[in-house]
Amino acid sequence: MPYELLIALRYLTAKRKQAFISIISAISVLGVVVGVMALMVALGLMTGLQKEIRSKILGTTSHISLFRSRGEGFDDYRQVVERVRHLPHVLGAAPAVYGKGIVASAAGSDLATFKGIVPEEERTVTDIGSQVEGGSLEALAAPSSDGLPPILLGHELASKLGVGPGDIVSVTSPRGRLSPMGLLPLVSKFKVAGVVRSGLYEFDAGWAYMSLPAAQRLFADSDRASLVELRVDDIYAVRRISSEIRAALGDEYIPSNWIDLNQSLFSALWLEKMAIGITIGLIVMVAALNIVATLILMVMEKHKDIAILVSMGASRGAVTRIFMLQGTIIGAAGTMAGAILGWGACQVLDHFRLLRVPVDVYQISYVPFTLLPGDAATVVVGAVLTCFLATVHPARAAARLDPAEALRYE
């Protein structure tokens, strides 16, 4: 073991009359521990929030939506679905009809977004089938025993209307029918076949699902689909895949992907992550300044020892290395302890779901913590490097100490 390292360790564990230096060193380590731990927990929080919202959105909506260039519906949606299924990277395709309307029960009414689907095809593009409670997605394919078409309501929407599986609701479509009294809205009765709990408040509080033919009667004037939805094998390559799909189908079709549709949301989350990371990272900077103060005190306390080392033949570089090693050891020990505690805190907070957030603001009820290996490595390397740079000035000051001046009055 190099003698510089032995001396640095000895100085860090000084006893008796130098015990004050050991206390200051321990405080320096504690500062690094707190800074690294806080930074890891903050990054885990923001990463977990991004990941959870992304997974919920992609579980409820498609990766790519295919529209007609003139804003018209798909009269040939069956042929388009069959064609895009055979394109590279496409895992599934399904038609859909969207519409806005009012859903009402005996307890009240609310505005909702309605989606008409083909159950067996919808399973290939979203995870709605696994989110149904009190029923199944396949129940939409056949009318109920009393002849009423089935409907699935979002969990929060069903709660506001005070209904559950087996209850009757009415749906009013703004697409009216001409009568002697003028234009009258279309009103149809549906039987609740179950509720959908996606975990996203926006969908659970304002969405409902029905069969494609039922949606066509309410929101379309013929056998057509509003769009065709696709699921692909790489969610981060949807822009490239969208370009390939458009090249294969022609300019008549316009693909829209989940990244573009949710860009503002994830940009805001990324900005929050950067802001929180920089703000809490200042704690590590404060800890590094504490290391500077510790080494300056150490140099002042050990000026006689430094003079003796130089007189015995130790080079100026060796003296510099002693104090740089001392500061680096403080930083490395604090960083490792903080990283372990930060990782453990993320695991506990995620497992027990301790951090609750307003569901109507963040769309989810709690914050999951996900600490990415890349983020953890960046924090560890950055903290150690910051602590190392903090040792440069005090170590160089120690190396410039004049032995004769230091020992003159000893």
What pLDDT digit, counting tens, does each position of 172-206 carry? 998 766 566 666 788 899 999 999 999 899 999 99
Last residue of some domain: 220, 250, 280?
250
What pLDDT digit, counting tens, does each position of 370-394 carry? 999 999 999 999 999 999 999 999 9
257 domain residue, yes or no: no
Is residue 23 located within the same domain as residue 135? no
Looking at residue 312, the DSSP 8-state letter turns out to be T
The pLDDT score that the predictor gives to residue 401 is 85
190 domain residue, yes or no: yes
The pLDDT score that the predictor gives to residue 84 is 96
Is residue 180 located within the same domain as residue 45? no
Query: Taking the model in full, what pTM does it have?
Result: 0.83
Roughly what angle, to the nearest 10 degrees, separates helices 263-301 and 316-352? Answer: 140
Phi, psi of 207 (to 5 degrees): -120, 150
Last residue of some domain: 250, 279, 310?
250
The pLDDT score that the predictor gives to residue 51 is 92
Is residue 272 located within the same domain as residue 353? yes
The pLDDT score that the predictor gives to residue 71 is 77
Is residue 245 located within the same domain as residue 295? no
Alpha-carbon dihedral 141, 146, 150, 151, rounded to 10 degrees: 180
E strand intervals along 7-86: 64-68
Is residue 30 located within the same domain as residue 125? no
The pLDDT score that the predictor gives to residue 308 is 86
Is residue 117 located within the same domain as residue 217? yes
156 domain residue, yes or no: yes
- Runs of H (alpha helix) within 222-315: 238-249, 258-261, 263-301, 303-311
Tokens standing for residue 359: 């569901």
Is residue 75 located within the same domain as residue 11? no
Is residue 22 located within the same domain as residue 74? no
127 domain residue, yes or no: yes
The pLDDT score that the predictor gives to residue 363 is 74
The pLDDT score that the predictor gives to residue 19 is 66
Last residue of some domain: 200, 221, 250?
250
Q: How far apart are CA 329 and CA 326, in angstroms?
A: 5
65 domain residue, yes or no: no
Rounded alpha-carbon distances, angstroms, from residue 114 to 117, 151, 188, 301, 343: 10, 10, 13, 76, 43
Is residue 113 located within the same domain as residue 222? yes
Provide the domain count of the chain.
2
Is residue 222 located within the same domain as residue 324? no
Task: Give which of 148, 98, 92, 149 is closest to 121, Cα–Cα.
Answer: 92
Is residue 115 located within the same domain as residue 145? yes
379 domain residue, yes or no: yes
Q: How far apart are CA 311 and CA 308, in angstroms?
A: 5
Pairing state between β 150-154 and 182-196: parallel
Domain that holds residue 186: 70-250
258 domain residue, yes or no: no
335 domain residue, yes or no: yes
Is residue 272 located within the same domain as residue 178? no
Low-confidence spans in the chain with pLDDT less than 50: none
